[in-house]
Amino acid sequence: MASSVWDLYHLRGNPFFQEPLGGDLAPSTNEESDLFVGRVVELERALREVTHSSRTRAVILGEAGVGKTTFLNRLREELDDASRTPRLITHTPAIRIQGGWNSVDFCAEILRTILLMRATRKPKVLGSTRLGVIADALRVAGQAITVPDFWDRVTQAVEGRQILGWSVQAGGGNPLVNAQGGVGVTPAWAPPTIPPATLLPATLHAIRIASEELGGELVFFLNNLENLSRADARHAAGLFQDVRDLFLADAAHWVVCGTTEIDRMILRATPQVEGIFPAALELEPLSAAEVADLLRKRYHAMRRGMAPVIPPITPEDGATLYGLYHGNLRSFLKLLQDAVLAGAGPGGARSLTTDRVLALMGRQHLRAVRDGMGKTAWGYLVDTVLGPTSAAPLWGAFRQVDAAARTGRKASVIKPHFDTWIETGAITALDEPPAGHRTGGRGDWYRLSGNAATALAALALNDGRDVMPLIDGSVGATSTELVLPAAAQAPVP
């Protein structure tokens, strides 16, 4: 009996993983690099932006799920390559910005990251020529008189430490003293003591000292910005302004990763911050051919023994399904994983087809999307996308006016439901009109999200319809051709 469903496919584990592999599943360094596909030009540009001087800032943007964290990990690998960038010191994992952080929280996290860098590299013993720099830093940090004392104070400030106290007892059951009495050792924990007034300048000096000790420049990766709420993002804009001096520190490089909206709300919110961050590098979605290549590489890297891999889904069929998600690699990989777990049975392993994946996952996605927006809004979405009959064209993209016309409702009636589709993530705005349409910009045209497209494609398959328009985002007839008879106006339950 197979110990895991992936054994059936002669795989060591899940090939649709979304985080770097670790433990027994971790590939060799070369294999891990080989799993990276596409974005060669973007990677070279990011390397130039980080390495062109002794203090830099770079911004990497992309829609949710497009593969920003994977790109960030690959960039770190390249920066770790001593043959290319011998003077740079990186860290992993990336610093995850949290909602509600203030400057003290941010500085504390930077100090923890510097401590991590020192722990993974052997600091140099600094000579007398560095004493002036060290003395300045120590005066800021407090009463410390040596470099080790400085780092002890940093550790105490951001992590706390264990302290030992002495106790004298006349006897008893304390295992640390004998029965006739004696001296015992009582461990205690001193909590972090972060001095708000001095932490920012102390962090600046910590960067300088660590750079001197480690013989290189420090690279800080900031991630998780896209997971902040809108209120937290507005708060983070003030945070970035408060710690602006850190972004200008010598011997420090900053790589900020997020979505286009986060870039606007945080990095471009104030002139003081916008003025120091360069134009962003935007990651376009991987192409279908690149996704097929990605699946091939993953199957090869995850192969168990010498037995040939049975693809859970062929790379070609996987690349077709990727069209449902329009670049959201994270949700696409989850779809494949869930389909394999749902479809693997006692009859042995076989590759899933696109239709089989949709049949397996359609009902689950339909229920989730419908329950998220309510039956009435769902009914109007079905009417809009599938049309009144099985002979109607399927729509992967449309405008509000098109939805109103196809459902036979007034714009004032359809608008609240259209807003619900947007709020629940069933549809997303297009930056430009679909191919063949010259009018309209962002906010005019919308397309189905991956989960909604999967649910509606499954419904269309039940009628024997070709679901490719939902996969490639095709647009049907124009709204002037869509006035329906009264019999077709009732929403689908």
Question: Would you state the pLDDT for residue 257?
Answer: 92
Angle (nearest 5°) at CA 428 between 425 and 431: 160
124 falls in which pLDDT band (50, 70, 90)? confident
Reading the block at residue 246, the tokens are: 């850190």
Distances (CA, A) of 264 to 49, 172, 233, 268, 327: 20, 66, 10, 5, 21
**pLDDT, tens digit, for every residue of 445-486?**
899 999 999 999 999 998 888 888 888 777 754 443 333 333
Question: Would you state the pLDDT for residue 439?
Answer: 65
Rg of the Cα trace of the chain? 28
User: What's the whole-number mean pLDDT along residues 332-346?
Assistant: 88
Question: Would you state the pLDDT for residue 187?
Answer: 64
Question: Would you state the pLDDT for residue 131?
Answer: 46
Amino acid at 18: Q
Question: Would you state the pLDDT for residue 186?
Answer: 60
433 falls in which pLDDT band (50, 70, 90)? confident
Question: Would you state the pLDDT for residue 170?
Answer: 53
Of residues 114 and 165, which shows the higher confidence score? 114
Across the chain, mean pLDDT equals 81
Percentage of the chain with pLDDT > 90? 48
354 falls in which pLDDT band (50, 70, 90)? very high
User: What's the whole-number mean pLDDT along residues 213-219?
Assistant: 92
Cβ atoms of residues 51 and 85 within 8 Å: yes
Is the link from the previous residue into 93 a cis peptide, with omega within 30 of 0?
Answer: yes
Question: Would you state the pLDDT for residue 144?
Answer: 43
Question: Would you state the pLDDT for residue 268?
Answer: 93
110 falls in which pLDDT band (50, 70, 90)? very high
Query: Alpha-carbon distance 317 to 314, whole Å?
Result: 5
- The residue behind tokens 């049907």 is 476
Q: Which residues contact 255 (CB under 8 A, 6 or more apart)?
A: 46, 50, 57, 58, 59, 60, 72, 75, 219, 220, 221, 222
Asked whether residue 398 carries a pLDDT value surpassing 70, the answer given is yes
Q: Which residues contact 1 (CB under 8 A, 6 or more apart)?
A: none
Region of poorest pLDDT, from 46-55, 153-162, 166-175, 301-310: 166-175
Percentage of the chain with pLDDT > 70? 77
Region of poorest pLDDT, from 138-142, 400-404, 439-443, 485-489: 485-489
Question: Would you state the pLDDT for residue 471?
Answer: 84
Q: How many CA atoms lie within 13 A of 320 on its CB side?
A: 15
Asked whether residue 195 carries a pLDDT value surpassing 70, the answer given is no
**pLDDT, tens digit, for every residue of 75-103?**
999 998 876 777 899 998 899 999 889 99
Question: Would you state the pLDDT for residue 134?
Answer: 46
User: What's the whole-number mean pLDDT along residues 23-47?
Assistant: 74
Asked whether residue 33 carries a pLDDT value surpassing 70, the answer given is no
128 falls in which pLDDT band (50, 70, 90)? very low
Query: Alpha-carbon distance 358 to 340, whole Å?
Result: 11
How would you label 448-471 residue by residue, b for 16+ Cβ within 10 Å and e otherwise?
A: bbbbbbbbbbbbbbeeebebebbb
- Domains in the chain, CATH or no CATH each: 5-20+286-352 (no CATH), 39-154+200-282 (3.40.50), 361-488 (1.10.10)
User: What's the whole-number mean pLDDT along residues 353-368?
Assistant: 92
Query: Alpha-carbon distance 358 to 468, whole Å?
Result: 12
Distances (CA, A) of 210 to 300, 321, 452, 462: 41, 48, 50, 63
**pLDDT, tens digit, for every residue of 228-281?**
888 999 999 999 999 999 999 999 999 999 888 888 999 999 999 999 999 999
| Residue 132 φ then ψ, to 5° | -65, -45
**pLDDT, tens digit, for every residue of 133-184?**
444 444 544 444 456 677 777 777 777 766 655 555 555 554 444 445 555 5
| Residue 163 φ then ψ, to 5° | -125, 155
Query: Alpha-carbon distance 89 to 253, whole Å?
Result: 10
